């Protein structure tokens, strides 16, 4: 094994797959382009004047390249680095293996990095394949779907980045003509764009597809290995194999001791087996009991036969109750199966009210940590020259009152701008004062510029949370 096998979280498994791809990146990239080479060569011959269609054909053929990447990754994990001759022998099988299913029916499947490993590495088909895929996806398919979205977004972003980088190296006249052509392009046809521009865009997308698919295939392989580790205990199996290798030398001696122990006759077994059996069977537990009963005469039964009409009515009623029970069972099963959707939308789940923040931006805003008369205490600190402490006390005291009295939901991770935005939304009556205080606090805390004494006096005297200023 060239990697440590242990139960991992899903995203840690993605990191493992990316690390495996990074270790043999150039070989994997070469395998990817080797898989794309035949269709790319044919497209350049027959679709030379249609670069956009050529790009679509190469995108459709991409699973073949992914399979060659997976072939190298799977062997490399178990200590074997396939030579190019082995990769070339694998290429025809990668092209034709389950062609109609993989290239037509399941081409848009977001689970392709995981299901492709089941096809290629385990060789399962039809019902066995479906059962195996369901078992692996039961471990969690959300990561695989998010990985598919990540691949699409990253492919587009990287293609735009490569195309923009190519534009930077164009001569000024060529760049100007390309810019005019893109501005005048209406989006209805590609014929109006210069061929060089189209081929540059297609090349950028192809390069982006190759890079993203190499690492995306590795990430899917990492998820596959992690799922099998969780389900089948690969790490435990390998640990037992290592233990078995260490104990192989002592196996002969242990086996000899066991054989000797079995062959030693037991002491005290003088009684014959027949006598022991007879004694045990004589115990009350083995006594045979017989019961006799008589069947009643059908004519004396309390059941009354009222003709076939009543039987038919009972039959219809039974079928109705059975269908109703099946419907109820189906509804209960659907609710249970999709309970995560109901929880995500808050149906039937009462969310507890978030606890008030006790620390904001590292400052203690708990009411018990503040003096009773905050403006007076802040002004006293200001007069003795402790201006940072004075402004900090006034600012955190204001935040504490906004949380306790104003009901503003300020979080511990909020910055000054976040706090000001929450106050403007939820407590418009004090938004003006808090905005001026925040500005003065940030100038002193980050700019080292203290406000004038008159400004500090004004902030303390107009503090809106004093007892005498509370509305009746």
Rounded to an integer, what distance in angstroms lies between the CA atom of residue 424 and that of residue 430?
8
Rounded to an integer, what distance in angstroms lies between the CA atom of residue 155 and that of residue 161?
10
Residue with tokens 């694998």: 90
The CA–CA distances, whole Å, from 368 to 74, 259, 396 equal 61, 77, 12
The CA–CA distances, whole Å, from 446 to 46, 388, 391, 398, 459 equal 65, 11, 12, 19, 19
Residue 183 buriedness (CB in 10 A; 0-12 / 13-18 / 19+): exposed
pLDDT in tens, the chain (472 residues): 677 777 788 888 888 889 999 999 999 999 999 999 888 888 888 887 778 888 888 888 899 998 899 899 988 888 788 888 888 888 888 888 878 777 887 788 888 888 888 888 777 777 887 887 777 777 666 788 888 888 889 999 999 999 888 888 877 777 777 777 766 665 555 666 777 788 888 889 999 999 999 999 999 888 888 888 877 765 455 555 555 555 565 555 555 555 555 454 444 444 556 777 777 777 776 666 665 656 555 444 444 444 444 555 566 677 777 778 777 877 887 777 666 655 555 554 445 555 677 788 878 888 888 888 889 998 998 898 888 888 888 888 888 888 887 778 888 878 888 888 888 876 556 788 888 888 888 888 877 888 888 888 888 988 888 754 443 3
Question: Which of 457, 391, 404, 456 is CA-nearest to residue 430?
Answer: 404
Question: Which of 327, 323, 326 is CA-nearest to residue 315?
Answer: 323
| Beta-bridge partner residues of 360 | 363
Cβ partners under 8 Å of residue 82, min gap 6: 71, 72, 75, 76, 90
- The widest CA-to-CA distance across the chain, in whole angstroms, is 113
Spans of all domains in the chain: 10-239, 308-316+323-344, 359-469
């Amino acid at each position: 094994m060239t990697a440590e096998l242990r139960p991992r979280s899903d995203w840690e498994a993605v990191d493992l797959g990316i690390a495996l791809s990074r270790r043999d990146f150039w070989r994997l990239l070469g395998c990817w382009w080797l898989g794309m080479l035949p269709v790319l060569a044919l497209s350049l011959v027959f679709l030379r004047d249609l670069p956009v269609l050529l790009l679509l054909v190469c995108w459709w053929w991409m699973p073949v390249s992914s399979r060659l990447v997976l072939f190298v990754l799977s062997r490399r994990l178990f200590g074997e680095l396939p030579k190019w001759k082995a990769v070339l022998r694998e290429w025809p099988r990668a092209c034709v293996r389950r062609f109609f299913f993989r290239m037509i029916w399941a081409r848009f499947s977001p689970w392709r990095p995981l299901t492709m490993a089941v096809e290629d590495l385990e060789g399962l088909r039809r019902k066995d394949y479906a059962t195996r895929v369901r078992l692996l996806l039961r471990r969690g398919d959300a990561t695989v779907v998010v990985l598919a979205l990540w691949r699409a977004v990253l492919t587009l972003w990287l293609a735009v980045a490569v195309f923009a980088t190519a534009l930077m190296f164009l001569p000024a006249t060529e760049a100007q003509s390309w810019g005019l052509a893109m501005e005048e392009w209406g989006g209805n046809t590609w014929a109006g764009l210069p061929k060089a521009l189209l081929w540059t865009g297609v090349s950028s997308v192809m390069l982006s597809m190759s890079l993203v698919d190499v690492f995306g295939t590795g990430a899917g392989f990492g998820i596959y290995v992690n799922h099998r580790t969780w389900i089948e205990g690969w790490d435990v199996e390998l640990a037992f194999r290592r233990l078995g290798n260490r104990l192989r030398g002592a196996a002969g001696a242990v086996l000899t001791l066991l054989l000797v122990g079995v062959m030693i006759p037991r002491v005290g077994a003088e009684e014959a087996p027949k006598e022991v059996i007879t004694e045990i069977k004589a115990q009350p537990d083995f006594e045979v009991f017989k019961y006799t009963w008589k069947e009643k005469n059908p004519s004396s039964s309390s059941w009354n036969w009222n003709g076939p009409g009543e039987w038919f009515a009972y039959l219809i009623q039974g079928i109705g109750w059975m269908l109703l029970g099946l419907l109820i069972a189906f509804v209960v099963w659907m609710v249970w199966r999709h309970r995560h959707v109901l929880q995500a939308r808050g149906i039937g789940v009462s969310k507890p009210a978030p606890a008030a923040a006790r620390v904001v931006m590292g400052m203690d805003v708990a009411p018990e940590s503040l003096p009773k008369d905050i403006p007076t205490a802040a002004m006293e600190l200001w007069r003795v020259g402790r201006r940072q402490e004075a402004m900090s006390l006034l600012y955190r005291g204001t935040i504490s009152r906004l949380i306790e009295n104003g009901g503003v939901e300020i979080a511990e991770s909020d910055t000054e701008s976040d706090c000001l935005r929450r106050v403007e939304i939820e407590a418009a009556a004090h938004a003006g004062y808090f905005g001026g205080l925040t500005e003065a606090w940030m100038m002193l805390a980050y700019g080292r510029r203290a406000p004038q004494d008159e400004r500090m006096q004004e902030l303390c005297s107009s503090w809106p949370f004093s007892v005498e200023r509370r509305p009746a």
